[in-house]
Amino acid sequence: MSGDCGGTNTRLTLFKVPASHKLEMGKPPPGEVIFSKKYLNSSHLNFTDVCKVFLKEAGDTVPATCCLACAGAISDNKVTFTNVKDGWTIDGALLEKELGIGRVKLINDFEAQGYGLLTLSQDEKVNLNGGVPKPGAPIACLGAGTGLGECYLTADASGRYTCFPSEGGHAEYAPIDDLTHDLRDWMMNKFLFTGDNKGRHKEDGASARAAFVDFRNEFVDLEFSEAPWHMQGAIVARGAKSGDIICRKARAVKIFTESYGSEAGVAALKWMPKGGLYISGGIAAKNPEWIKSEAFYDAYKNKGRLSPMVESVPLYLVLTEDTGERGALFVAVGMVA
């Protein structure tokens, strides 16, 4: 059994594995899906209740192993969802006891993304720079969606990879030009500083505020929340694909693309993933032209004296959006052995 457990929905899958199963790189786990369903968390008292409903609907089958990819920090095989009403706690040991599952393992949702990379076929990814992956070398992944996730994988002597979660997406934002320096000051003033420190960057962020007023004016016919860079990504993506000149040329999109590419280059520097650096997540899959753009790659490789090293890292765009679900299933199947 595997699961993708978010703050709003939980998708569970029951999978039948042949006795002689073997996990292979570039292939999904061998076997067949018996039952799969998505549940609205708010319709259930707790996660155990969701699992009981799922297993009953699946024919009262009790799985031998279970891996759950959870949108939160895992500690002692437990996770608490702070954005679910009344707070949900998933306890692996408790699920084993209450449901009779042989073994339950919780992993971070982006850790599941990392394991999902191991299942990608050649036509599910695009090599952006022609780099040749080195067998057994580290692999890294970053992906922007609601937030920014990052992880890395290393191989043992047999070539079997283990994924390690990271909170690299919460590192400080690194500006790359005058405008993004102003943007950083504006955001620090709005979101970080409180009390006596409020307004500390008020003057420094003046040009950024003025620039983003211009951005809002450019998108006057689109839907926005309070801040211009919180624009509805799906709306901009649809407009860009349909040829809307405002959506395709927006400065806000350009700034995002360059910042994303720059952070990808930072990941290449930190982990030197000669096995491949993968760009995953919903934004990349829905807007592949942003990741394939010169703006993204120029920012990625612009690392001074180490630019040649960064360019030698094989850079991939992931085309699928179910990488996390596949990663949880990959781990669950691996636990059977």
User: Residue 215's pLDDT band (boundaries 50, 70, 90)?
Assistant: very low
**pLDDT higher at 63 or 146:** 63
Residue range 215-228: mean pLDDT, rounded: 40
Would you give the distance in Å from CA 35 to the centre of its chain? 25
Q: What is the mean pLDDT of the chain?
A: 85
What DSSP letter does each residue of 173-193 carry, written as one string?
P---SHHHHHHHHHHIIIII-
Is the pLDDT score of 160 beyond 90? yes
For the segment 226-255, what is each residue's pLDDT rounded down to a tens digit? Answer: 334 334 556 666 666 666 666 655 677 888
Lowest mean pLDDT among 103-107, 214-218, 227-231: 227-231
Packing angle of the helix pair 294-301, 251-271 (nearest 10 deg) = 40
Closest to 279 (Cα-Cα) out of 119, 128, 108: 128
**pLDDT higher at 299 or 187:** 299
Joined together, the tokens standing for residue 212 give 């983003």
Residue range 216-223: mean pLDDT, rounded: 41
Give the C-alpha separation, 305 to 236, whole Å: 36
Joined together, the tokens standing for residue 53 give 């409903």
User: Residue 316's pLDDT band (boundaries 50, 70, 90)?
Assistant: very high
Other Cβ atoms within 10 Å of 249 Cβ, number: 11
Exposure of 156 in the CB half-sphere (CA atoms within 13 A): 4
Residue range 123-127: mean pLDDT, rounded: 96
User: Residue 326's pLDDT band (boundaries 50, 70, 90)?
Assistant: very high
CATH of region 2-120+322-335, choose from 3.65.10.10, 3.30.9.30, 3.40.1190.20, 3.30.420.40: 3.30.420.40
Give the C-alpha separation, 232 to 71, whole Å: 22
Per-domain residue ranges of the chain:
2-120+322-335, 168-318
Residue range 140-164: mean pLDDT, rounded: 93
216 within 8 A of 238, measured Cβ to Cβ: no
User: Residue 142's pLDDT band (boundaries 50, 70, 90)?
Assistant: very high
Give the C-alpha separation, 94 to 101, whole Å: 10
Give the C-alpha separation, 39 to 108, whole Å: 19
Phi, psi of 279 (to 5 degrees): -100, 110
Residue range 185-196: mean pLDDT, rounded: 70
Joined together, the tokens standing for residue 231 give 């624009």
Is the pLDDT score of 218 beyond 50? no
Is the pLDDT score of 206 beyond 90? no
- Percent of the chain topping pLDDT 70: 80
What DSSP letter does each residue of 219-285 carry, written as one string?
TTTS---SSGGG--HHHHHHHHHTT-HHHHH-HHHHHHHHHHHHHHHHHHHHH--TTEEEEESHHHH
Give the C-alpha separation, 186 to 213, whole Å: 13
Give the C-alpha separation, 198 to 249, whole Å: 34
**pLDDT higher at 148 or 202:** 148
User: Residue 223's pLDDT band (boundaries 50, 70, 90)?
Assistant: very low
Is the pLDDT score of 204 beyond 60? no
Sign of CA dihedral 70, 72, 75, 79: negative
In the prediction, which pLDDT does 333 show?
94
168-318 CATH: 3.40.367.20
For the segment 47-101, what is each residue's pLDDT rounded down to a tens digit? Answer: 999 999 999 999 999 999 999 999 888 999 999 876 666 668 899 999 999 999 9
In the prediction, which pLDDT does 291 show?
96
What DSSP letter does each residue of 184-218 carry, written as one string?
HHHHIIIII--GGGTTTTTTTTHHHHHHHHHHHHH
**pLDDT higher at 189 or 152:** 152
